Amino acid sequence: MGSKNKLKRFRENETFYNVIQPDRATLNDQKFSLKGKWNTHFFKNNNPIVLELGCGKGEYSVHLATQHPDKNYIGIDIKGARFWRGAKTALENELTNVAFLRAQIELITSCFSQNEVDEIWITFPDPQIKYKRTKHRLTRPEMLSDYKKVMKPEGVLHLKTDSEFLFGYTLGTVSQLGEILYAHHDIYNNSDAPKEATAVQTFYEKQFLAESKAITYIQFRL
Residue 51 is part of which domain span?
1-107
Q: Which residues contact 114 (CB under 8 A, 6 or more apart)?
A: 149, 150
Residues 16 and 86 in one domain: yes
Q: Please indicate whether residue 192 is annotated as part of the active site.
A: no
Coil vs helix vs strand at 58: coil
Q: Do 43 and 128 have their domain in common?
A: no
Of 23, 29, 126, 186, catalytic: 126
Secondary structure letter of residue 132 according to DSSP? G
Q: What are phi and psi of 70, to 5 degrees?
A: -90, 10
CATH of the domain at 209: 3.40.50.150
Do both 86 and 157 map to the same domain? no
- Is the domain of 12 the same as that of 95? yes
Q: How many domains does the chain have?
A: 2
- The per-residue pLDDT for 2 is 62
Residue 101's φ and ψ, nearest 5 degrees, are -115, 120
pLDDT in tens, the chain (222 residues): 566 788 888 888 888 999 999 999 999 999 999 999 999 999 999 999 999 999 989 999 999 999 999 999 999 999 888 898 999 999 999 999 999 999 999 999 999 999 999 999 999 999 999 888 888 899 999 999 999 999 999 999 999 999 999 999 999 999 999 999 999 999 999 988 998 889 888 888 889 899 999 999 999 999
Q: Tell me whether strands 117-123 and 179-184 are parallel, antiparallel or unpaired.
A: unpaired
Q: Which helix (H) or strand (E) holds 63?
A: helix 59-67
Global confidence as pTM: 0.93
Q: Is residue 97 part of a domain?
A: yes
Question: Are 29 and 96 contained in the same domain?
Answer: yes
Does 211 lie in the same domain as 174?
A: yes
Q: What's the pLDDT at 90?
A: 95
Q: Is residue 142 part of a domain?
A: no
Q: Are 96 and 196 part of one and the same domain?
A: no
Both 16 and 57 in one domain: the answer is yes
Within a domain: 85: yes
